[in-house]
Amino acid sequence: MNEKRMKEEYLETLWYMDESKENSLEYFNREAGEELQPKLLDQLKEDEMISVDADTISLTEKGRDFTRRLIRSHRLAERLVHDVLGAEFEAGACEFEHIVNPDLVDSICTLLGHPRECPHGMPIPRGKCCIEHAQIVESSVIPLDQLEVGETARIAYVYAPNDQQLHRLENLLVRPGMTVKLHQRYPSFVIECENSHIALDERVAADIHVWVSAERHQAAVPRPYGRRRRRHELRHNLRRRQGG
């Protein structure tokens, strides 16, 4: 791995640490392991990308701006490979983030409908394209649990708190691009997808997001970005960086 790529890996590690509320130098050194090169950290510090003292290490504002683009590219690549190609997303995304220019990243984001999360539910940093089209996107995508019985909609994206649930939904063909019809809301949600009737609990139904018309959306109440999901993101970040 060349020095440029290694420095970018360090910056990404610091981004993941920040998401997990972790900034100890000891933790960073453990994550870097044998690949840690002190001279590269010194260069990042000289370039005002990171701040280091005796016990802590963190991204500076300049470092966050740069790393934000890397993370955005990586997580959008995961969505692209998963949603469009239906393939394993992690390996390709690692290369994608280092070689794709920002204009192409925004084009991919627009193509995917400005998704807010990667397949693992981690937040995708917003770009200029997301901000410009935020009003349109907000009026087009709602959680499945806000549909009325008898309504039909096309799945925009699916949030899954773990791989097991993600694979289960995929096996049921509940994936982006598929059309579903809501048949029942209580005692469980029942949807029709590819001529099959599928029962979902309320939590799972709320994590499936569907496209609707702007007029239809005006009657829907947006679901808040809850504490449960934020807690999951922090736990997932720690597991991912620890190889779990």
Going by pLDDT thresholds of 50, 70 and 90, the confidence category of residue 172 is confident
Residues near 161 by beta carbon (within 8 Å), at least 6 away in sequence:
121, 207, 229, 232
Task: Give the domain 64-138 fold.
Answer: Arc Repressor Mutant, subunit A (1.10.10)
CA–CA dist 211, 171 (Å, integer): 21
Q: Where are the domains of the chain?
A: 3-59, 64-138, 141-221
Confidence (pLDDT) at 221 = 42
Confidence (pLDDT) at 48 = 96
Question: Of 19-28, 39-48, 131-140, where does mean pLDDT reach its minimum?
Answer: 131-140
More confident residue, 209 or 66: 66
pLDDT(240) > 70? no
pLDDT(232) > 50? no
Confidence (pLDDT) at 231 = 40
Beta bridge partners of 1: none
Residues near 232 by beta carbon (within 8 Å), at least 6 away in sequence:
121, 161
Distances (CA, A) of 100 to 49, 76, 77, 116: 21, 11, 10, 19
Token pair of 38, please? 């002190």
Number of CB atoms found within 10 A of residue 186's CB: 8
pLDDT in tens, 35-76: 788 899 999 999 999 999 989 999 999 999 999 999 998 888
For residue 191, the one-letter residue type is I
More confident residue, 96 or 50: 50
CATH homologous superfamily of 141-221: Ferrous iron transport protein A (FeoA) (2.30.30.90)
Find the mean pLDDT for residues 167-187.
Answer: 87
- What torsion do the CA atoms of 150, 84, 71, 33 make, to the nearest 10 degrees? 120
pLDDT(9) > 80? yes
Question: What is the overall mean pLDDT for the chain?
Answer: 79
More confident residue, 211 or 218: 211
Find the mean pLDDT for residues 201-217.
Answer: 77
